[in-house]
Chains A and B, each alone.
Chain A
Amino acid sequence: MRSFLAMIRNSFYEAVDNKIFVVLVGFSLLFTVLILLIGFEELPFEETVRGIFRNVEAHFKPVARFGSAPASETGGSPPELLDVSKVERDGKTWYRAEFTVKDPEKFRLKVPPLPGMPEWGASYEGEGGIMACLQFESRMAGFFQVRTGSMGDGRYFLEAKPGKTFETAGAQQITILFGVWKIPLRGVTSMQLVFGIESMLAKFIGGWIGVIVAIIVTSWFVPEMMAKGTIDLLLSKPVARVNIIASKYVGGLLFVFLNASVLVGGTWFAFSLKSGFWHAGYLGSVLTITLLFAVLYSVSVLAAVLWRNSILCIAASILFWVLCFLVNLANSFVNRMSGMFTEAPDWLRTGVKVIYRILPSTSDIGDLSDYFMSLGTPPVGMSAETNAKMFEKIDFAGSIVQACVFIAVMLLASYVVFRRKDF
């Protein structure tokens, strides 16, 4: 145990000695500081409501909008806002907007279908369509209870009660550099903005770039240890070889875990502090980043004991990652083919399935990150049930077990190679 800890501490020194470790931690801290410079402010509620109408207006332009909003195909002239006011109802504040629409019968909106989401894929027409559109946009802006109605003479009203989301996230405007630059948020709440940036940090910065950098940095841990003159001394100590391999592996994991913790923990804290949105699900990405790395690093360790060359370790782990991605793609393709097009031949389906079952599912690990993110905070415009439905088909427990088995097999193979090796 003492030697195990000593080996891990040594891996840590090795990592810290490496400038890249400092650079990585520096990057994470930089992100954190940048976020701390962002202010989240509440916009006057009229502004918020006007924001909703601006978004509705956008549906009257014949352009497909990007992002989560529906693509549109509309005619007629957009609604005109007459008045915005606050009303008290059951002791709660509602926002009330009155507006006119000139030719409601010309309104047409088509929402493209999204698999698994029944609210999408509808088309709206006329007056009712405008109301639905307003309801949708209100929800996007963080209002979860919405009423609409007609007051006659082409006059309508919209009443919206800020939901819990809106109350906790509150702000609708961000300021950068202490108010030098103010950006009103349109179509998103600050919570959604935070959610979006955190998703990007978790999946892209941490889960992709971070993992690649981690593979590169840790690739020379084992080859360096196995260099002539270093390994002799290490093996001459009363430490079993299995412990040497295991501690090097754990040392690498710890290195990535620490880095991921600094990145995710720092940015999480900064966002939470500034926006008031304490999004615990984001912290789960520390685990998914480490798990993904754990899978790839086990490949790297095996490559290291086989070839003792860090470039080959990097190549092996990255190629393996690409392979997992391709197999995953092939798997979803042959499965969809059976439903949508013609049946894929049996041998192909079985073959792909077998490989898919053997290899750890790196895409499931990515989805697991999304799943953690969405816990307690379903993404924009989605109810908790719809969100749960998105993930119910994915067998996370199975994928985690599969990844762990794969890691165990890789490490065992590394040990078998290392055990009888002469140095």
Chain B
Amino acid sequence: METAALNIENLTKTYKAWLGPQIQALKELNLKVDPGQIFGLLGPNGAGKTTLVKTLLGIVAPTGGAAEIFGVPIGRPAARRRTGYLPEDHRFPGYLTAAATLDFYGALSGMPRSERKAKIDAALDSVGLLKWKKVKTRKYSKGMKQRLGIAQAIFHDPDLVFLDEPTDGVDPVGRKAIREIILDLNRRGRTVFINSHLLSEVEMICHRVVILHAGEVLREGTIQELTRSEGEYVFCVRGDPGPCMGGIKALCTAVSGIDGGFKASLPREEDVDAIVDLLRKSGIGIRSITPVKVSLEEMFIKVLEEDGAKGGRP
């Protein structure tokens, strides 16, 4: 079996302050990420997304549990050999040029000098910063810094890249470019771990997502799985379904008419067949039957509301 890119078991992090309350940022978190995936970690601000990534990268010490990156326990420098990281709100030393920045962090990631030299231009070009190669980063705009941050995160060709809010502060064109980079990494078999509160971004590219709230996993699955609304279908029909609506209503928990058909909530999947039978018997043609999908955003809000009702973090 292939080792998981990430294997997290009961990971807990409690921030202890001198004064004030303790903050439990991660609560016995379990998570597994397979290699080659684009993985999205979603959650509102303060959910613990950044804390999770920082814990995995040894920036923050966990208070409990364990985790491995490609089989190496976190905390050891070796666990960070195959990782790249774009911190949220990162700040590069202002006295370095773009080229020197890549060279410095590349060296820290263990790249030999010759390799660094050979790859700098291409790496800067891929984020559109080649022109700025010799300019000190203190003169960069936020978007430029973000692009340099991404170039830095993937410069040493890591197998697992953590991107914390990668599209934060980037204009739509830049966002598209970042998505392209992520997809390209994925094509080359790299694993990408994205932290984001911007759901549409994630929806576009992630294979699997986890919804984190108050340090706990609320949902986990593929985008398809998560956005499928349980038992809701839209039936588009030829002709008026009116005559058999009585029978249909008996099968459904809720029905509503829509233009050219109706929307039905069915408790069991077999009931779709029953409705088809009813319609066919009445001689009504069926154009299409589609399971209703909610947007990730709707689902997200719903999930958080449910959790709030359950008594999650106020």
Instruction: Say if A and B assemble together.
Output: yes
Q: Given the interface contacts A229-B87, A232-B87, does A10 sit within 8 Å of B93 by beta carbon? A: yes
Residue of B nearest to A422 (CB): B60
A92 at the interface (CB under 8 A from B): no
Q: Given the interface contacts A234-B108, A235-B58, A237-B109, does A13 sit within 8 Å of B96 by beta carbon? A: yes
Of B89, B108, B112, the residue contacting A229 (CB under 8 A) is: B89
Whether the Cβ atoms of B59 and A235 lie closer than 8 Å is yes
Give the docked Cα–Cα distance between A6 and B93 (Å): 14
A228 proximity list for chain B (CB < 8 A):
89, 91
B110 proximity list for chain A (CB < 8 A):
2-3, 238
Of B78, B87, B95, B112, the residue contacting A233 (CB under 8 A) is: B87
Of B77, B92, B107, the residue contacting A240 (CB under 8 A) is: B77
Give the docked Cα–Cα distance between A240 and B81 (Å): 12
Shortest Cβ gap from A421 to chain B (Å)? 8
Of A16, A230, A239, the residue contacting B92 (CB under 8 A) is: A230
Of B15, B91, B152, the residue contacting A227 (CB under 8 A) is: B91
B262 at the interface (CB under 8 A from A): no
A420 at the interface (CB under 8 A from B): yes
Give the docked Cα–Cα distance between A235 and B59 (Å): 6
Residue of A nearest to B60 (CB): A422
A9 proximity list for chain B (CB < 8 A):
104
A38 proximity list for chain B (CB < 8 A):
none
B80 proximity list for chain A (CB < 8 A):
236-238
Whether the Cβ atoms of B59 and A232 lie closer than 8 Å is yes
B95 proximity list for chain A (CB < 8 A):
13-14, 16-18
A423 proximity list for chain B (CB < 8 A):
54, 59-60
Q: Binding site of A, secondary structure by majority: helix, strand, loop or mixed?
A: helix
How many residue pairs link A and B with beta carbons under 8 A? The number is 87
B131 proximity list for chain A (CB < 8 A):
none
Of B91, B93, B105, B136, the residue contacting A237 (CB under 8 A) is: B105
Shortest Cβ gap from A218 to chain B (Å)? 14
Of A5, A235, A238, the residue contacting B81 (CB under 8 A) is: A238
Give the docked Cα–Cα distance between A231 and B85 (Å): 12
Q: Which residues of A, 1-53, contact B by the 8 Å Cβ criterion?
A: 2-3, 5-7, 9-10, 13-14, 16-18
Q: Which residues of B, 90-143, contact A by the 8 Å Cβ criterion?
A: 90-96, 100, 104-105, 107-110, 112, 136
Give the docked Cα–Cα distance between A420 and B100 (Å): 29
Please report the total number of B residues contacting A with Cβ < 8 Å: 34
Shortest Cβ gap from B152 to chain A (Å)? 8
Interface string of B58-80 (1 = CB under 8 A from A): 11110000000000000001111
Q: Given the interface contacts A7-B108, A10-B104, does A236 sit within 8 Å of B58 by beta carbon? A: yes
Whether the Cβ atoms of B77 and A236 lie closer than 8 Å is no
Residue of A3, A9, A227, A233 with highest tally of chain B CB at under 10 A: A233
Whether the Cβ atoms of B59 and A3 lie closer than 8 Å is no
Give the docked Cα–Cα distance between A238 and B108 (Å): 7
Residue of A nearest to B61 (CB): A420
B109 proximity list for chain A (CB < 8 A):
237-238
Whether the Cβ atoms of B60 and A238 lie closer than 8 Å is no
Give the docked Cα–Cα distance between A238 and B104 (Å): 13
B57 at the interface (CB under 8 A from A): yes
Shortest Cβ gap from A155 to chain B (Å)? 75
Q: Which residues of A, 231-253, contact B by the 8 Å Cβ criterion?
A: 231-240
Shortest Cβ gap from B22 to chain A (Å)? 13
B83 at the interface (CB under 8 A from A): yes
Whether the Cβ atoms of A236 and B87 lie closer than 8 Å is yes
Give the docked Cα–Cα distance between A169 and B6 (Å): 74
Whether the Cβ atoms of B60 and A233 lie closer than 8 Å is no
Shortest Cβ gap from B7 to chain A (Å)? 19
Whether the Cβ atoms of A237 and B96 lie closer than 8 Å is no
A18 proximity list for chain B (CB < 8 A):
95
Shortest Cβ gap from B55 to chain A (Å)? 9
Give the docked Cα–Cα distance between A229 and B136 (Å): 17
B105 proximity list for chain A (CB < 8 A):
233, 237
Give the docked Cα–Cα distance between A420 and B57 (Å): 13
Give the docked Cα–Cα distance between A383 and B100 (Å): 56
Shortest Cβ gap from B144 to chain A (Å)? 15
A234 proximity list for chain B (CB < 8 A):
108
Whether the Cβ atoms of A2 and B77 lie closer than 8 Å is no
Shortest Cβ gap from B211 to chain A (Å)? 24
A236 proximity list for chain B (CB < 8 A):
57-59, 80, 83, 85, 87, 162
Shortest Cβ gap from A4 to chain B (Å)? 10
Residue of B nearest to A243 (CB): B77
Whether the Cβ atoms of A230 and B93 lie closer than 8 Å is yes
Of A6, A14, A227, A422, the residue contacting B108 (CB under 8 A) is: A6
Residue of B nearest to A227 (CB): B91
Shortest Cβ gap from B82 to chain A (Å)? 9
A232 proximity list for chain B (CB < 8 A):
54, 57, 59, 85, 87, 90
Interface string of B1-22 (1 = CB under 8 A from A): 0000000000000010000000
A10 proximity list for chain B (CB < 8 A):
93, 96, 104
B59 proximity list for chain A (CB < 8 A):
231-232, 235-236, 422-423
Give the docked Cα–Cα distance between A233 and B110 (Å): 14
Shortest Cβ gap from A257 to chain B (Å)? 20
Give the docked Cα–Cα distance between A391 and B239 (Å): 113
Shortest Cβ gap from A9 to chain B (Å)? 8
Whether the Cβ atoms of B93 and A3 lie closer than 8 Å is no
Give the docked Cα–Cα distance between A9 and B54 (Å): 26
Interface string of A200-243 (1 = CB under 8 A from B): 00000000000000000000000010011111111111111000
Shortest Cβ gap from A27 to chain B (Å)? 21
Give the docked Cα–Cα distance between A160 and B256 (Å): 125
A7 proximity list for chain B (CB < 8 A):
108
A231 proximity list for chain B (CB < 8 A):
59
Residue of A229, A231, A232 with highest tally of chain B CB at under 10 A: A232
Whether the Cβ atoms of A239 and B60 lie closer than 8 Å is no
10 CB-based A-B contacts, threshold 8 Å: A2-B107, A2-B110, A10-B104, A13-B95, A14-B95, A17-B94, A230-B92, A235-B57, A236-B87, A239-B77
Additional A-B contacts beyond A232-B85, A233-B87, A422-B60 (8; CB < 8 A): A5-B107, A17-B95, A229-B89, A236-B57, A237-B109, A238-B108, A238-B110, A422-B15
